[in-house]
Amino acid sequence: MTYIYFLSSNKTAVAGQLFMIKFFRKIWKFFFKKDISKLAFSDTNTANMVNLILFGPPGSGKGTQALKLVQKYKLLHISTGDLFRYEIGNKTELGLKAKAFMEKGELVPDEVTIGMLKNKVEANPDVKGFIFDGFPRTIPQAESLDKFLESKDQKIQALIALEVDDNEIVKRILERGKTSGRSDDNDESIIRKRIEVYNHSTSTVYEYYQQFGKSYSIDGLGTIEEIFNRLCTRIDSLG
Which candidate in 68, 99, 120, 176 is catalytic?
176
Would you call 182 a catalytic residue per the annotation?
yes
| Options 62, 97, 214, 230, the catalytic residue | 62
Active site residue 137: yes
Residue tagged active-site, from 25, 85, 147, 182? 182
Would you call the peptide bond into 136 cis, given omega within 30 degrees of 0 as the criterion?
A: yes
- What is the Cα–Cα distance from 146 to 199, expressed in whole angstroms? 22
Q: Which of 97, 172, 194, 230 is catalytic?
A: 194
85 is catalytic: no
Q: Which helix (H) or strand (E) holds 88?
A: helix 80-89
Give the integer Cα–Cα distance in Å for 216 and 231. 10
Residue 176 among the catalytic residues: yes
Cβ neighbors of 144 (< 8 A, separation 6 or more) are: 110, 111, 114, 136
Angle at 101 between CA 202 and CA 140, to 5 degrees: 35
Q: Are 154 and 52 in contact (CB under 8 A)?
A: no
DSSP code per residue over 176-200: HHHHH--GGGS-HHHHHHHHHHHHH
Burial of 45 (0-12, 13-18, 19+ CB in 10 A): middle
Active-site residue (options: 137, 172, 214, 230): 137
Residues taking part in catalysis: 62, 137, 176, 182, 194
